[in-house]
Structure 1
Amino acid sequence: MAESPAVAGDQPGPLEPRCRPTVEPVLFLGTAALSLQAPLCTQYLWDRLGAELGYNGTSHGSGSPGGCGGNGSGDPLQQEVETLVSHWNLYLNLAGFFVGLFSVTLFGPWSDSVGRRPVLILPAVGMALQAGIYLLVMYLRLHVGYFLLGRILCGLLGDYNLILAGCFAYVADISDRRSRTFRVAILEACLGLAGMLASIGGGQWRKAQGYIDPFWLVFAVSLATALYVAFCLPESVKEKKPAPLLTLRHYISIYRLYTQPGHQKARQKLALYSLAFFLLVAIHFGARDIYVLYELSSPLCWASDLIGYGSAAMYMAYLSSLAGLRALQLCLADTWVAELGLLSNVVGLVVISLAATTPLMFTGYGLLFLSMAATPVIRSKLSKLVDETEQGALFASVACVEGLCSLVATGVFNSLYPASLHFMKGFPFLFGAIVLLIPAALIGWVEIWDSTPEYAHFPETPAHVQEG
């Protein structure tokens, strides 16, 4: 593993002309499908499991369409529904993770040889299959356990994490080192824009027509993603070559990123940035998993339209973070932009943890305006630490980290949330804010460590090219 030379890395890729189709629509469509599906799935589980337990909110005097008992958070039946939904979210995430862990690490390094397009088509097809199975469950009133079958099939084809890995590797292929952070931030902004539109539309659509029609859109968008890649997206890998898929060599290539002899400083930075990325994304995933539950139940008692607006406000942070990153790059190094993003995240989560009213909840969302600035910085720094022929393996490992984030976050937050209902409902958000202090310390330490040789050893050592 070696950091790509500056000269080679600064050459524009074959797809640089702006008139050529590129990968942003793939991530936009895939994220739209996921963002439309995830909150609707949680609300469907809430209504379905609540009905099976004889709880629908209105029977307890609330009248809230979202289901919110008149006895507030002390209602034992409401707490039972919250706990059941939280646990089913855990089961679904576990199913997707354990299967996706092996498929992403297989397909990601494979794409370094055969190209990015195959590994972008497969997960889109998997998401369409998952949406189709969810529709069958809703049409036929099958047991919600069949949702697990959809998650497993989607995981076998790489799941959404493989779309992320393929898209970020694609951008690394076609961008130079100087512009890479901003190109990655544009991809992150696509996440936010797609999530925001899907959240607003999904909440209103669910309120007007129920669950089935929005899930048909999820199915159609997933298929559209696969068709766009198959017929419109140019290949970004310059020298494709045939390579076997079912081989341990792909897993070994990811292992070697962190263990290859030589370049010790680059390996250490790779490990530290990966740890910071893990903690940051785990908090993002964990908080996102319980936002809907937090808003559905008392004291907020939001209906589906407000839940949609809340999700849109959360996703707006991707767009505001892109604008903030671009502006702050004019006067600050990327590292310190990431630190400001982490500060925004901490403050927003603290306010949300105390939110008992709708205005305060939206204030918390507003304070998250720069919260997504840290992740593109870390992705870009990771990408610059490996060779251009290892981008697929790198982003496959990052996708595995994200899958592990989802597993850990879902396990921790979906277990912590019901356990903390009796003493502080917003405690999981406060917990997340405290954990985010760790990646802030790691990123700052790496930056200080990186800059030390320029001053401490300048008189004693000859000039040389600094790593990173």
Structure 2
Amino acid sequence: MEGSASPPDKPRARPSAAVLCRGPVEPLVFLANFALVLQGPLTTQYLWHRFSADLGYNGTRQRGGCSNRSADPTMQEVETLTSHWTLYMNVGGFLVGLFSSTLLGAWSDGVGRRPLLVLASLGLLLQALVSVFVVQLQLHVGYFVLGRILCALLGDFGGLLAASFASVADVSSSRSRTFRMALLEASIGVAGMLASLLGGHWLRAQGYANPFWLALALLIAMTLYAAFCFGETLKEPKSTRLFTFRHHRSIVQLYVAPAPEKSRKHLALYSLAIFVVITVHFGAQDILTLYELSTPLCWDSKLIGYGSAAQHLPYLTSLLVLKLLQHCLADAWVAEIGLAFNILGMVVFAFATITPLMFTGYGLLFLSLVITPVIRAKLSKLVRETEQGALFSAVACVNNLAMLTASGIFNSLYPATLNFMKGFPFLLGAGLLLIPAVLIGMLEKAVPHPEFQQFPQSP
């Protein structure tokens, strides 16, 4: 109450900062992913062309002789350098993000979701600013790693997603949570699809600099939205210390604190399932652009843009199909169907040597992205309402660990298998996806009965 004094051992409730409007969280995620997807393939292509220029390799666009260059040692060196620098960026981001995203996510359970959203937006803004300087001034590509580390220090995209999913859990009912999670992921996909289409055409027309400038402008707008337009979803934000081990301890307690054994076991196994799914997703994403640039496909920036757009289309198609299938199937079985199509798509990628076959692989992924919103919703229902930030920061940590694992496996395996089977990493991904398929089926059979599953229904 406004006139009553708070007990000395409890933190005071912190009044929410004034906002211009009470906007939803989806525009933040849309703008962030639009900027990131605009930068991602462009960064890979920029590294490719920088190393090509440094090594005197100029055969990238001579399509007539593409099929005869599979053993070109200079081209393989360009591919290897590009793959390794992608790995360095991901490792740098992970090592810092492992600490920061878990700290900030649990902190948001006390202070509110908006402070974390603002910090993560600033981190993405700094990364884009560093990229602009690298491209404009032809700085050493090592500065890309610096930008990645600065971004991770302030929460990174994983921190932004942790706060966003926790925000959705704050205001959604248990029944509607899966669809709300899928809706948030769909905003990621639509942004990625539009950015991919724009990026390829723009690169061909005007080069690298202008797309990076657009990403910077969007991230400035996103930061302002987070600070002044996002409506806080935590019911009672309060002043909370940031630098304390209590935040990390709260995440550990999710998995080890006394509670019904089944619910904690399900929490750990669902976390393992989402770890494998994200590992395969980001691992394939890391090498797809390289796979398409090189022989025998030899795609140009326009085709790469179309491919990246097709890669993001399942965010939208998965949302629509999920809404339809929820009327006749349990969420877990929808996820199993999505995994089956994901496995098929990976197998097609592994043997694709022509452009139509690559797009067939993309088409088979139309339902592949129902998996993560289903798992996130199931995880959210296994913890208390006051543990949502800690949970999704733990998921962000799992996400970061999966990205590191993906980079380590796929970016190291890809150059190592160039001489005998370039598509082998995709076959590995298809095999790994059998693990979450088995786990989700087993967990659906053994339905948990945790004490925290019933949330107050949202009005």
State TM-score, norm by structure 1: 0.90
For residue 431 of structure 1, the aligned residue among 424, 428, 433 is: 428
Q: Share of identical aligned residues, percent? A: 61
Q: Which residue identity does 2:255 align to in structure 1?
A: Y
Aligned partner (choices 21, 26, 47) of residue 23 of structure 2: 21
Alpha-carbon distance change, 203 to 466 in structure 1, aligned in 2, over 3 angstroms: closer
Q: Secondary structure at the match of 2:447?
A: helix
C-alpha separation between the residues in 1 aligned to 2:51 and 2:125? Answer: 25
- Residue 74 of structure 1 deviates from its aligned partner by 1.5
Alpha-carbon distance, 1:143 to partner: 1.0
Q: What SS does structure 2 have at the residue aligned with 1:233?
A: coil
**Partner residue, 1:298:** 295
1:56 CA drift (Å)? 2.0
Q: Please state how far the C-alpha of 1:69 moved relative to its aligned partner.
A: 4.8
Give the Cα separation in 2 of the matches to 1:324 and 1:410. Answer: 30
Q: How much does 1:466 deviate?
A: 11
Offset at residue 246 of structure 1 (A) = 0.4
Cα offset for 1:272? Answer: 0.5
One-letter amino acid of the structure 2 residue matched with residue 168 of structure 1: F
What letter is aligned with 1:313? A
For 1:25, give the aligned amino acid: P
| Amino acid corresponding to residue 29 of structure 2 in structure 1 | L
Letter of the aligned partner of 1:30 in structure 2? A
Report how far residue 139 of structure 1 moved: 1.7
Matches of residues 29-48 of structure 1 in structure 2 within 5 Å? Answer: 29-48=31-50
Runs of 4+ in 1 over 4 A off after TM superposition: 464-468
Map residues 64-83 of structure 1 onto 2, 5 A cutoff. Answer: 64=63, 69=66, 71-83=68-80
What's 2:414 paired with?
417
2:62 alignment counterpart: 63
Other-structure match for 1:309: 306
Kindly indicate whether the alpha-carbon contact (under 8 Å) linking 2:163 and 2:392 is maintained by their aligned counterparts in 1.
Answer: yes
Deviation digits for residues 5-59 of structure 1 (CA, Å, limit 9, x no counterpart): xxxxxxxxxxxxxx9521110110111111111110000000001110111215x
Whether contact under 8 Å (1:64, 1:303) holds in the other structure is no
- Give 1:223 shift: 1.1
Match of 1:44, as an amino acid? Answer: Y
Tell me, yes or no, if the aligned pair for 2:123 and 2:155 is still in contact at 8 Å.
yes
Q: Please tell me whether the aligned partners of residues 266 and 467 of structure 1 are also in contact (alpha carbons under 8 angstroms).
A: no
CA distance in 2: counterparts of 1:345 and 1:435, whole angstroms: 11
Q: Separation in 2 of the partners of 1:168 and 1:266? A: 20
Output the CA distance in 2 between the equivalents of 1:88 and 1:239. Answer: 44
* Count of paired positions: 435
In 2, the alpha carbon distance for the partners of 1:447 and 1:70 equals 48
> 1:282 maps to which residue?
279
Aligned in 2, Cα 1:345/1:428: closer, same or farther, shift over 3 Å? same
Distance 1:140 1:467 in 2: 54
Residue 140, structure 1, aligned to residue 142, structure 2: no
> How far has the Cα of 1:414 moved from its partner?
0.2
Amino acid at match of 2:39: Q
Determine if the alignment matches structure 1 residue 53 to structure 2 residue 52.
no
Partner letter of residue 427 of structure 2?
L
Q: In the alignment, which of 138, 153, 157 is matched to residue 154 of structure 2?
A: 157
- Aligned partner of 2:334 in structure 1 is 337
Q: Deviations over 1:297-326 (max 9, x none)?
A: 010000001000000001001111101111
Which runs of no fewer than 5 residues in structure 1 stay unpaired? 1-18, 454-463
Distance 2:347 2:92 in 1: 31
Q: Is 2:189–2:312's contact at 8 Å kept on the other side of the alignment? A: yes
Asked whether the 8 Å contact 2:383–2:453 carries over to 1, the reply is no
The residue number in structure 2 matching 1:85 is 82
Query: How far does the alpha carbon of each residue in 1:266-316 deviate from its partner, in whole angstroms, 9 at most, with x for none?
Result: 100000000000000100000000010000001000000100000000100
SS in 2 for 1:450: coil
The amino acid across from 2:189 in the alignment is G
Amino acid at match of 1:217: L
The SS at the match of 1:74 is coil
Paired amino acid for 2:50: R
Structure 2 stretches lacking a partner, 5+ long:
1-20, 455-459
1:262 shift after superposition: 2.2
Asked if the contact 2:381–2:452 (Cα under 8 Å) also holds between the matched residues in 1, the reply is: no
Within the alignment, does 1:96 sit opposite 2:96 as a pair? Answer: no
Secondary structure in 1 aligned to 2:70?
helix
User: Quick one: distance in 2 between partners of 1:99 and 1:360?
Assistant: 39
Displacement of 1:265: 0.8
Q: Deviations over 1:410-438 (max 9, x none)?
A: 00000010111111111101110011001
Q: How does 1:170-185 map to 2 (within 5 A)?
A: 170-185=167-182
Alignment of 1:169-208 (within 5 A): 169-208=166-205
Q: 2:240 maps to what in 1?
A: 243
After superposition, give the CA deviation of every residue in 1:141-182 in whole Å (9 maximum; x if it has no partner): 111111111111111101111111111000000100000000
How far the C-alpha of 1:63 sits from its partner, in A, is: 2.0
* Structure 1 position 447, deviation (Å): 0.8
| Mapped partners of 1:146, 1:223: distance in 2 | 21
174-183 or 139-148, which deviates more:
139-148
CA distance in 1, matches of 2:149, 2:259: 39
Q: Which amino acid aligns with 1:63?
A: Q
CA contact (8 A) 1:101 1:403 kept: yes
Deviation at 1:218, TM superposition (A): 1.0
Q: Distance in 2 between matches of 1:281 and 1:138?
A: 30
Return the letter of the residue paired with 2:402: C
Alignment correspondent of 2:111: 114
What per-residue deviation string (whole Å, max 9, x for no partner) do you get for residues 355-386 of structure 1? 00000000000000000011100000000000
Q: 1:24 is aligned with what amino acid?
A: E
Residues of 2 paired with 1:203 and 1:120: CA distance? Answer: 29
Instruction: Tell me, yes or no, if the aligned pair for 2:130 and 2:144 is still in contact at 8 Å.
Output: yes
CA contact (8 A) 1:57 1:70 kept: no
